[in-house]
Amino acid sequence: MTTSFLRFAVTATFLFFTSAAQPQTPSSNKTQTPTQKGAQFQLSPAKTPLVFEPNRGQAASNFQWIGHGAGFRLGISNDGATLEFVDRKATPPAKPRFLNPSDLAKPQAKSKSAPSTLVKLHLSGSNGWKPAGAEPSGGISNYFIGKTSATWQTDIPQYAQVKVASVYQGIDLIFHGDESALEYDFVLAPGADPRQIQLQFEGAASLEVDKTNGDLVLATTNKTELLRHAQPKIYQVVGGKNVPVKGGFQVLKGNIASFTIEKYDRAKPLVIDPTIRFVTFLGGSDTDAANAVAVDGRGFTYVTGQTYSGNFNVVGGVIQSGRSGDSDAFVTKLGTGGNIVFSTYLGGGDNDAGYGIAVDASGVYAAGQTHSDDFPLAQALQAEKRGDGTIFVTKLSPSGNRLVYSTYLGGSNAENGGAIAIDASQSAYVAGFTTSRDFPVVHGYEYYRGAAVSGFVSKIAPNGVSLVYSTYMGGSNVDSISGIAVDSSLSAYVTGEAASNDFPYAGYQSTMFGGSPSAFLTKLSPAGDSLIYSTSLSLETTIGTAVSLDFAGNAYVAGTFCSPCESPHPDLVFVSKVSPAGKLTYSKLFSGTDGSSDGYAIATDAGGDTWVVGSTSSTTFPGAPPLTPNPTAGFLMKLDANGNGPLYTIFLGASINGVAVTKPTSTLGQIVYPTIYTAGMRYTGGKSASNQDAFVVKLDEEPVIENQP
């Protein structure tokens, strides 16, 4: 007898917008394909080419082209190519949930740019460089850096290659690559003499060919390895196939290298293809983190976060950020296949980070924290930054190349946050926490800050120039907000952590359950001046980080249970469901038998199926294959509408910070399956686990029918 059953095949495509290598799994740094609890995960990583841009003012004038890569910066001029390596043991860009809100009351030192090392490639005896773009990728870059619109650069096309024609007689040079490897090909026309090629490296004290593998090693004066050129691939195309030609590197003298090439057909073109790899340079590379993800009705993905490797300039001969701060906020739009549609950078003279993102047909909304006095503004409801760090709210045009509006939002002390949601009228709702007594408040539920740190909720008018309402949300102790959602009636739902015994609770659970701080869920009236309900969610210490809604008006909250929140007690993930009346429907805890686990984001479909993401150091996280995190694993788990599960768990990278879900509308009883979008960070290797890159993963649930005897 044969029976059939339904199981889910979750296929994932890795979508990289930072030219990053494949997200590493926690133990082996290789993609896992686990099968458990009736769910099969087939992960299909998609490689992304390096991104090259013509210089249209976003870099110093001596560079004609700039390149974006993982762990390096590239500038191509009329006499060579300059590689900059940033020696960084970076502190991970922190979302509000990682912060102690009381730290905002402390003065924050302005950061300094990280030191960097340069290596410049010249071609001795060449005919000069005339670089040009090849193979347009279809994506664009936009740079809104600084307050002066005259310096903004938009609609800069992205290319997969830069070609320098006729660097020697009959020889072209082509730069390209994928993920964390930069390649440069010498393409020799029939009869061209390869002995013309002489690679001169400025910035390296010595060159040496590694006898074990043929790599060319560039080193400092104390023999510290700077970078490594893999043994070149040398071949000719014959009958549509690559036919290898024997050869390799040789050091001529000092800092000049060339190639040895054995017998080949001189009547046919020849390709010499060295590869530069940037895996372990001085234990550090630039840090990037994706903090939130959104998806539109057509399946396009939008990501915001913080990048230390965004735009380029030259100061004292060094390719580096054109600002005094280390980082910019970014917004990247990806096509349904993972291609970059646009990347837009937002920043000024200090550190900036995007923490929340939302999208509708009129544009893309991003919010976060800025320390920059010259953050790019347009149609601003607040034109000056009053405190050290404050909130920014920016709406981009659908193509990402125009600021519909961009504004500061804060008082004379400091704020953090950037949770954002939008309603059908294009109003934006922003939440976070503030230490300012003069945070802008209008038509609010609370007009005065009750303690040193208080949550806030602000609703911005569709045109961005005014506040519909803005309110404090807190009591007499430290309280903060980390997540926000908005329903069709224009009520905002917020969650976070409340340490105040007099936090404004109302409704089902009108006092703190007992933990301090306690996760809470508060539903504001559409006018923002009263509470429909406000409830504590836990008997013990918890922190709410994100909230989502289903069509029936149920609210779902994810976060961290940590009672007590101190070592050696492990954290657990909690997920709670609250009814439309504000009554707790269920509350679930998830963790392994060892290690800590934290919930960072949540998404819910119309029927209440729920996806939760975060990070864990547990080797036995429920529903997942056994592994050893390195030191953490990013997890995605699914629960049904009643909190049963995990129906499946999957590991991706080191931390998953954002999740969004789309599900087609079913007709005539047709079964439809969701698509899940996640964003986070992964470790890139090297000597320090703080080396990070951002990633986005798109997962499709599809039915698979199996017959079994």
439: closest CA among 427, 426, 450, 423? Answer: 450
487 is a domain residue: no
Count of H-run helices and E-run strands, the chain: 0, 49
Burial 89-119 (b: 16+ CB within 10 A, else e): ebeebbbbbebebeebeeeeeeeebbebbbb
pLDDT at 628: 76
pLDDT at 562: 82
- One-letter amino acid identity for 263? K
Residue 448 placed within a domain: no
555 found inside a domain = no
Whether 145 is in a domain gets the answer yes
Output the CA torsion sign for 378, 380, 384, 388.
Answer: negative
Mean pLDDT of each 10-residue bin along the chain, 709 residues long: 41 44 38 39 55 87 82 85 66 46 49 63 93 93 91 93 96 84 91 95 91 91 82 93 95 92 94 73 51 94 81 43 64 88 91 95 97 96 94 97 98 93 98 95 90 94 97 93 97 94 76 68 97 87 94 96 71 95 94 91 95 94 81 93 93 92 81 88 57 80 57
Task: Quote the number of domains for the chain.
Answer: 1
Cβ partners under 8 Å of residue 253, min gap 6 = none
Pairing between strand 340-347 and 131-145? parallel
Phi, psi (5° rounding) for residue 196?
-65, -30
Does residue 312 sit within a domain? no
Q: b/e for 43-57, b at 16 or more Cβ within 10 A?
A: bebeebbbbbbbbee
Q: What is the pLDDT of residue 101?
A: 57
In a domain, 119, yes or no: yes
Beta bridge partner(s), residue 455: 433, 473
b/e string for 162-181 if b means 16 or more Cβ within 10 A? bbbeebbeebbbbbbbbbbb
Burial of 650 (0-12, 13-18, 19+ CB in 10 A): buried
- H-state helical runs in 354-475: none
Q: Is residue 241 in a domain?
A: yes
Domain span at 179: 51-282
Q: What is the pLDDT of residue 25?
A: 42
Asked if residue 80 belongs to a domain, the reply is: yes
